[in-house]
Structure 1
Amino acid sequence: MFRTALRNVLAHKARLLMTVLAVLLGVAFVSGTLVFTDTISKAYQKSSEKGFDTVDVAVRPHDKNDDATPGDPPRLSQRLLDRVSAVPGAGTVTGTVAGYTAVADKDGDLLGNGFSSTGGNYYPAKNGKDPRYDLGSGRAPVTAAEVALDSRTADRGDYRVGDTVRLSTDGPVRQKKVVGIFTTDDGNVAAGGTLTLFDNATAQKLFTGSGQYDQIDIRAAAGTSQATLKAGVDKLLPARAEAVTGKKLADDQAKDIKAGMSGLQTGLLVFAGIALFVSIFIIANTFTMLVAQRTRELALMRAVGASRRQVTRSVLIEATVVGSVAAVTGLLAGIGLGAALRSLLGVTGSTVPDGPLIVSSTTVLAALVVGVVVTVLAAWLPGRRAAKIPPIAAMSSVHTAPSGRGLVVRNTIGAILAGGGVALVLAGTGMSSGDAKAPMGLGAGALVIGVFVLTPLLSRPMIAASAPVLRVFGIAGKLARQNAVRNPRRTAATASALMIGLTLITGLTVIAGSVQKSIDEMAAGSLRSDYVVSLGAIGATGLSPDVEKTLKRTDGVTATSTQRTSPALVDGDTTALTGVDGDTIGQMISVDFSSGSLSEVTGNNIVVDDDTAQDNNWHAGSKVPVTFEDGARKQFTVAGVYEGNSLLDGIVIDSAVLSAHMADVTDNKVMVKTEDGPNQATKDALQKALGDNPAINVQDKKDISNDIAKAITLLLNMLYGLLAMAVIVAVLGVINTLAMSVFERSREIGMLRAIGLDRKGIKRMVRLESLVISLFGAVLGLCLGAFFGWAAGELIAPSLPTYELVMPWGRLGLFLVLAAGVGMLAAVWPARRASKLNMLAAIKSE
């Protein structure tokens, strides 16, 4: 039986090649994902370990009682650094300062856009060098007019020692002289970010305050362990500070990197799973076809003594061989895919730390298990069916049609699954987003499986609806329709492969279009200002108040209003206060009030959004005790309750009152009203007034909407690209089904040729059959996708008051056209093969 199975594998190379390809794609995606994420994680981990080579113990601010005082714990003082330096066993002690610093290239464009843009201090030890950085050329900065750049940033910006660089830390543009270029193992720089070093005093002035540090790094003297050094440092620490070893810092960062990569890995593996799920239909169809082609052979084996188990085992051995080949080739392809994805990061401007390609034993095992197990499971049912065919019936070419009882059972199970799935999804739409995940996930899965089970039942009426169109093509169209419903189970399996891919694509498109429309309406309805000015890069902490002062002095500006936030304790709970100018904020933002107005935000009066008011049982006139981040306490009166939105929510307070208690006064954004409204000339004037700063965004309503649209479109395109693998696998499924159909109808095709249907008619018949099956799967996918898109929108709606369902009819029509194209493409080879059948040989075939 083993030799027979191997012979059968080699006897059907073309069709088995399609099966191998289908499994290979899924396995390649799984192994490629694991190789890619393992490689990147390991590279960052090694980089982080190098970054802590010079740190044995680090002292950092730490809030042991988060509810005691709002805001971050105080920074570390110079006095503490001096005391730590005197601890027995302490070698080199370095005070670190860090903050947001945007760097422009010589054309004025932002370097490292999309990644961390950081500034820090150069802290020289007794030998005059900072152990964290190796100056490759030039020297360290020693005055406020000087900086040093990391070598990657210098290369990207084409900077050399002696050049002048434009940079910004909180809005205003500063021009500095580049006096040094250094190398660093900082993972943020390796990822494409920038690092700019100032002298210690300047860095403190910009980021922490004079004589203060974000962290103190200590390198142990020879013969002193990290644990011993930490024990000595612990005795000197103030209440809101902690000491950690360098090993723990490296371990924590490695965990953070792993956690950060796990989301990407999970997302990619989900799409690999979808491709493998679709592959199951193709494998099942392929083995059904192979079993059908040698029904007599299997019957003869039964007649000479082979048992049902041996026949089933023979089919499963074939599946194991096919799965093993697919798994090995898929693993090799996945390794190449992982390397390609890493290279792609470089092409897109992203960089990662250097390191080898990681192919772990887990990756190899996962590829082999997935490839073999998926193939064997998919082939089990065809093998079992083949073993059940009576030998006499098989040798007489009598194929027993599915019993009516079997179809009733199948349709009943499908109806129960589909009905239960719909019920769970509908129940989930009435829950909160957190509680709805489980029922909606289970419901979606049950509904998809239920529709798949019911697809044979649905195929007849839906394909029959195409009769008026197919009638135009004459006898070829009529035959195509009849052929499509001749074996509804096989047609259902093929259509389901396309259905799954289009369900996901349609659902994502509906959600994205609806969210985009709601954001557009919110921007148009709630934002009254002509422009919003903000820092637009990652890591930015806030705008300097000088930005608003500059804008106020700019010609054509009639009003400005800032928004700033600060942590506070309100009724014992930590929350964020939003500071606004009550005199002008009403000109910038439109919000609906159930009582009061924005103009009442002044002095001791505050306004709160309806959710906050309901949670705390507040109303107009309620007294609210507040503890600011500096520890000061004050009682405020609720002057109004409003409906919160994405532009304004929470507790709103007079910005002048809030600023008096903020440790570092910065603005989240500045809203601007102008005489002439939004136009290019006004926008140019505002940008020029701000020094043509690449780190600052000056945006009108259209710009804000376009930014969001770009982000949504980019995400959608990435998802479309990942789902394309499922569509490719579905194409292979259509090819397999048509090839099987052509084989089963060889005698029929010969008879059609004999009575006058020419080769063009045969080709047209096969193409139309493929087109009908593909459009059947597409219609099911579009309907399910639209339903899931609506259901997900019901969960989004509470957090987006302007949300409304938008059906992207244009894109849905495009998906139908693409599905038709898939069907026509898949029919090329089977149609050509059918047209080339020798009519006499076909008529004589059994």
Structure 2
Amino acid sequence: MNIVNKLTVRHLKKNKRRTLITIIGVIISVAMITAVATLGVSFLDFMKRQTIASSGEWHVQYKDITKKQLESIAADETTSKLVIANELGYSPLENSENRNKPYLFIQEYNEQGYNQFPIEVSEGRLPKTANEVIISDEIIQDAKVDYKIGDKITLEIGQRLVPGAESPLKQNDPLQQDEEIGKETLQIEKTETFTIVGMMKRPILEPTWSPGYTVINYTNSTLLTQHDLLDAFVVMNKVDGSLYNKVEKIKKENKIDKVEYNDALLRYYGVTENDNLRTTLFSLATIIMVVIIIGSVALIYNAFAISVSERARHLGMLSSVGATKKQKRNSVFFEGILIGSISIPIGIIAGLGGIAATFWYINTYLKGALGDGAENLEVVVTTYSFLIACFVSILTIFISTYLPARKASKISAIEAIRQTQDIKLSGKTVKTSKLVRKIFGIEAEIGLKNVKRNKKRYRVTVFSLIISIVLYLSVSFFTDSISKSAELSQDGINYDIQVSGSNMTIDELKPFSYLDDVTDASVQTRIQLNADIQEKFLPDLLKEMIEKENLPLDNGKYEYYVNLYGLDEANFQEYAESIGTDAASFTDTDKTKAIVIDKISYQDFNTGKFIETNSIDTKLGEKIDVVLKNYETEEHVLLPELKIGALTDQVPFGVISSRLGGLDIIVPQKTMDKLISGNEQVKQKVETYLFLNSSDPLTTQKEIEDATTSDVNIYNVYKQKQNEQQLILFLSVFTYGFIALISLISIANIFNTISTSISLRKREFAMLKSVGLTLKGFNKMIYYESIFYGVKALLFGLPISGVVMFLIYKSVQRTFEYGFQLPWLNILFVIAAIFIIVGSAMLYSIQKIKRENIIDGLIQENI
């Protein structure tokens, strides 16, 4: 180690507080970079595992293929694992006590299928031959059919058919029992005998509303004939953007008609057919990483810049005894290497430890909120994420030390000894407006002159504040955008169970609301109507669609489809309060008032975009004429006009918003009864639904099935909703955790810069006290300095933040379309926080030096 480096080490040891602050600043920055990289990788891993647990591990499904096509797919170099799957069909389940599940559904898999799909054996084993099956526990527990391992069962297997349907019904289709629509029948095609070799838990892939209990049979390629049609699920040996081209090539070469991709899983590999989505993800990642690096550089740069200012005389003395520019520059780089070698390992460990602690806490919440089926969050560190964290950290420290190192190399001996390199005074430099003294007093004028006198130190402090503002607002807007995008991409399902039935009434459905496990319930009626809306009330996006698709307008009006919902008194009261309107005003009037949902979100399947827009541009008091249209008989029934009593973007519990060109209107049930009274044709079109949230959805479903004697349709969408909640929950944790981390770094940055700046001004403060500045006047001067710093930082920080937020918004717009809106609450928080933090930092620093002796302050040297 040369003499200059030895002196650098001695300086770091002597100034322990400054060295410790610098090390802590670098640790925080490295921990943030590590945490972000680890969080991203861990999030993708979590969502992959959760998706595989829910729908199996496969990337591509080739549908309705022959044995020859299967062999070609199996031989392709892109195929890693191949699952043969075939739906044999349905068989009547004799003596079943569950009339909503009267069938057995026989599904065939090869041995690989047992590994790739979520099949959990509870007793016995999986089938190994074509005449063996494993059955669901639910057949015994729910249907009360006494099957045992070893039993031989003879099944008549066929397809479920409905009059007029083009293809047989599948497991996702509920039992069709409505005589008016068309009751389903089972067309028997063959009879098979099987031996039961095991029991399994109800497969996750079996929808709760499906009419058949799952039975799994064994198959393989040798058992197939050339005439059999089956499905092949493929795990690709390499998952990247070329996957789609490779699959299309296989499809074309083998003349395969139908191919489906496991988009739910592929998206977490960063692979998607939607190029806009890929561009959006990379754009967002680039913007936020640039913001993080700039923030980290600013934090660390300030520490090294202040360190160089403190060492100015020390470096000048080295120059006076022959130290070259290169040696002085290298001494700063050496300081950076020393601090980095300590801070980077600690920062990486701290980042990983922080993520691990966060995940440990969240996992307990995940189990409670989402049930035992939820996967655990696990800290995943890949080679790439580790190297990225190290590289970005090293790059950040290098950039942070480069400018201070250049500055150090230029310090001359005379300037350093006189300590004039930072302060260049002239009358014009410190000139202030007379209004400052007249309005705020001489203390404010002195404070402003102090700010102007040392512009470099002032700029460093303001720059630090600006970076903190930009960091906080950019990251909070980024996380809000991610959460908003995630919400738009979901189906909007806000309930666990939907119950309906042919001709079922409110009185028949209402008792299910009081079942033990039910936490929320809403009985509502719905009728589908039409309304001609004047062109002036159409939103811009709808006008563009009408013009683009050349849709006709009838006398300057566009025909909307309307979903009119009637809510019972309690639910309407609760809903009205949630949107800030008076429920009584909708029932205490002769006029028929309604709540209109004027904002909708949906996915445009032509562009792949997720869109949030206005459904209608109208105002309170306007009237809507709704009509029931029968397009077959061309008969129209005009209902009483509806007056808009409230506009909102919130949908009631159980309602899913319409698409563009549709309108959702909410009225009390009394109003609905009034609208349809006296017209049997309208009454026949009214549908009645019950929506439930339950702490135990499967038990609630079973209780409803056991309690009703009439035909009832139950859609238990709890699992689907649970998957959506997991994504939103994880993003919420990411949002609040990220914002908390950024806030911590910003506060540390401000405190570090200001406290050091204050400690370097001991001589200046001692001089002011020596000429008669009182303690009260001194504190007043500091208050005004804080205000000057805050105002200047906000003048630059807010516009820069606005530009960054707009760039983030434009990146998101490639896939998610919604209006740009500034986060006003966050902006107000930043404005208040800047003045509070700056004032607190300055007062904290002043408390440490205000009791110092004036003489000691005047002779203070920054070494």
TM-score, L = length of structure 2: 0.54
Deviates more, 1:42-51 or 1:309-318: 42-51
Residue of structure 1 equivalent to 2:19: 16
Residue of structure 2 equivalent to 1:105: none
Q: State how far apart, in whole Å, the 2-side matches of 1:267 and 1:124 are.
A: 43
1:610-669 alpha-carbon deviations (Å, 9 max, x no partner)? 434433445469xxxxxxxxxxxxxxxx997569986599999989779xxxxxxx9987
Relative distance call for 1:745 and 1:610 in structure 2 (3 A) is: closer
Of the three residues 49, 60, 63, the one matched with 1:61 is 63
Q: Secondary structure at the match of 1:243?
A: strand
8 A contact 2:136–2:201 mirrored in 1: no
Q: State how far apart, in whole Å, the 2-side matches of 1:84 and 1:376 are.
A: 56
Q: State how far apart, in whole Å, the 1-side matches of 2:283 and 2:434 are.
A: 41
Which blocks of at least 5 consecutive residues in structure 2 are unaligned?
A: 76-80, 90-102, 124-134, 146-171, 178-197, 244-261, 273-277, 484-490, 511-521, 562-597, 607-614, 616-627, 634-654, 659-663, 674-685, 698-726
Residue of structure 2 equivalent to 1:290: 307
- Which amino acid letter does the alignment assign opposite residue 834 of structure 1? I
Determine whether 1:585 maps to 2:530.
yes
Determine whether 1:834 maps to 2:858.
no
Q: State how far apart, in whole Å, the 1-side matches of 2:848 and 2:199 are.
A: 67
Q: Structure 1 residue 363: deviation in Å? A: 3.1
Q: Secondary structure at the match of 1:136?
A: strand
8 A contact 2:766–2:858 mirrored in 1: yes
Residue of structure 2 equivalent to 1:708: none
Residue of structure 2 equivalent to 1:816: 831
Residue of structure 2 equivalent to 1:615: 548
Of all paired residues, the percent bearing the same amino acid is: 14
Q: Structure 1 residue 772: deviation in Å? A: 3.1
Residue of structure 1 equivalent to 2:411: 389
Q: Structure 1 residue 249: deviation in Å? A: 11
Q: Structure 1 residue 314: deviation in Å? A: 0.8
Task: List aligned pairs for 1:477-626, cutoff 5 A.
Answer: 477-503=444-470, 535-536=493-494, 546=501, 550=505, 560-562=526-528, 584-586=529-531, 591-593=533-535, 610-617=543-550, 619=552
Q: State how far apart, in whole Å, the 2-side matches of 1:712 and 1:460 are.
A: 55
- Which amino acid letter does the alignment assign opposite residue 299 of structure 1? G
Determine whether 1:142 maps to 2:173.
no
Deviates more, 1:309-318 or 1:136-145: 136-145
1:320-373 alpha-carbon deviations (Å, 9 max, x no partner)? 222232211110011112213422432442676468643333333223322222
Q: Secondary structure at the match of 2:527?
A: strand
Residue of structure 1 equivalent to 2:37: 34
Q: Secondary structure at the match of 1:780?
A: helix
Relative distance call for 1:820 and 1:715 in structure 2 (3 A) is: farther
Relative distance call for 1:655 and 1:290 in structure 2 (3 A) is: farther
1:470-522 alpha-carbon deviations (Å, 9 max, x no partner)? 53xx63x44333222322333233223333443465679999999x9xxxxxx
Relative distance call for 1:370 and 1:60 in structure 2 (3 A) is: closer
Deviates more, 1:500-509 or 1:276-285: 500-509
Q: State how far apart, in whole Å, the 2-side matches of 1:537 and 1:373 are.
A: 49
Q: State how far apart, in whole Å, the 2-side matches of 1:310 and 1:172 are.
A: 86
Task: List aligned pairs for 1:273-672, cutoff 5 A.
Answer: 273-349=290-366, 353=375, 357-399=379-421, 470-471=440-441, 475=443, 477-503=444-470, 535-536=493-494, 546=501, 550=505, 560-562=526-528, 584-586=529-531, 591-593=533-535, 610-617=543-550, 619=552, 641=558
1:675-708 alpha-carbon deviations (Å, 9 max, x no partner)? 64599xxxxxxx9964453389xxxxxxxxxxxx
- Which amino acid letter does the alignment assign opposite residue 729 of structure 1? I
Q: Secondary structure at the match of 2:122?
A: strand
8 A contact 2:108–2:218 mirrored in 1: no
Relative distance call for 1:751 and 1:17 in structure 2 (3 A) is: same
Q: State how far apart, in whole Å, the 2-side matches of 1:489 and 1:826 are.
A: 19
Relative distance call for 1:401 and 1:237 in structure 2 (3 A) is: farther
Deviates more, 1:723-732 or 1:286-295: 723-732
Relative distance call for 1:33 and 1:217 in structure 2 (3 A) is: farther
- Which amino acid letter does the alignment assign opposite residue 395 of structure 2? V
Relative distance call for 1:780 and 1:46 in structure 2 (3 A) is: closer
Relative distance call for 1:558 and 1:5 in structure 2 (3 A) is: closer
Q: State how far apart, in whole Å, the 2-side matches of 1:50 and 1:714 are.
A: 17
Relative distance call for 1:356 and 1:560 in structure 2 (3 A) is: closer
Q: Structure 1 residue 544: deviation in Å? A: 8.7
Q: State how far apart, in whole Å, the 2-side matches of 1:689 and 1:271 are.
A: 48
Of the three residues 772, 776, 782, the one matched with 2:798 is 782
Q: Secondary structure at the match of 1:61?
A: strand
Q: Secondary structure at the match of 1:485?
A: helix
- Which amino acid letter does the alignment assign opposite residue 9 of structure 1? L
Relative distance call for 1:234 and 1:19 in structure 2 (3 A) is: farther
Relative distance call for 1:641 and 1:678 in structure 2 (3 A) is: closer
Q: State how far apart, in whole Å, the 1-side matches of 2:530 and 2:839 are.
A: 59
Q: State how far apart, in whole Å, the 2-side matches of 1:181 and 1:688 are.
A: 40
8 A contact 2:493–2:656 mirrored in 1: no
8 A contact 1:19–1:283 mirrored in 2: yes
Q: Secondary structure at the match of 1:133?
A: coil
Q: Structure 1 residue 673: deviation in Å? A: 4.7
Relative distance call for 1:726 and 1:508 in structure 2 (3 A) is: closer
Q: Structure 1 residue 819: deviation in Å? A: 1.4
Q: State how far apart, in whole Å, the 2-side matches of 1:171 and 1:359 are.
A: 47
The structure carrying a bigger helix percent of its residues is 1
Q: Secondary structure at the match of 1:836?
A: coil
Of the three residues 108, 119, 126, the one matched with 1:133 is 119
1:139-184 alpha-carbon deviations (Å, 9 max, x no partner)? 6233895499xxxxxxxxxxxxxxxxxxx998999xxxxxx99669
8 A contact 2:470–2:800 mirrored in 1: yes
Relative distance call for 1:738 and 1:640 in structure 2 (3 A) is: closer
Q: Secondary structure at the match of 2:692?
A: coil
- Which amino acid letter does the alignment assign opposite residue 232 of structure 2? A
Residue of structure 2 equivalent to 1:155: none
Relative distance call for 1:733 and 1:814 in structure 2 (3 A) is: closer
Q: Structure 1 residue 469: deviation in Å? A: 6.5
Q: State how far apart, in whole Å, the 1-side matches of 2:813 and 2:56 are.
A: 49
Relative distance call for 1:45 and 1:787 in structure 2 (3 A) is: closer
8 A contact 1:323–1:372 mirrored in 2: yes
Determine whether 1:3 maps to 2:17.
no
8 A contact 1:620–1:640 mirrored in 2: yes
Q: Secondary structure at the match of 1:494?
A: helix
Q: State how far apart, in whole Å, the 2-side matches of 1:26 and 1:557 are.
A: 53
Q: How many residues align?
A: 601
Residue of structure 1 equivalent to 2:269: 258
Q: Secondary structure at the match of 2:139?
A: coil
Residue of structure 1 equivalent to 2:761: 745
8 A contact 1:281–1:493 mirrored in 2: no
Q: State how far apart, in whole Å, the 2-side matches of 1:724 and 1:464 are.
A: 42
8 A contact 1:299–1:394 mirrored in 2: yes
Residue of structure 1 equivalent to 2:751: 735
Deviates more, 1:774-783 or 1:835-844: 774-783
Q: Structure 1 residue 317: deviation in Å? A: 1.0
Q: State how far apart, in whole Å, the 1-side matches of 2:84 and 2:143 are.
A: 24
Q: State how far apart, in whole Å, the 1-side matches of 2:475 and 2:308 are.
A: 39
Residue of structure 2 equivalent to 1:843: 858
Q: State how far apart, in whole Å, the 2-side matches of 1:357 and 1:594 are.
A: 54
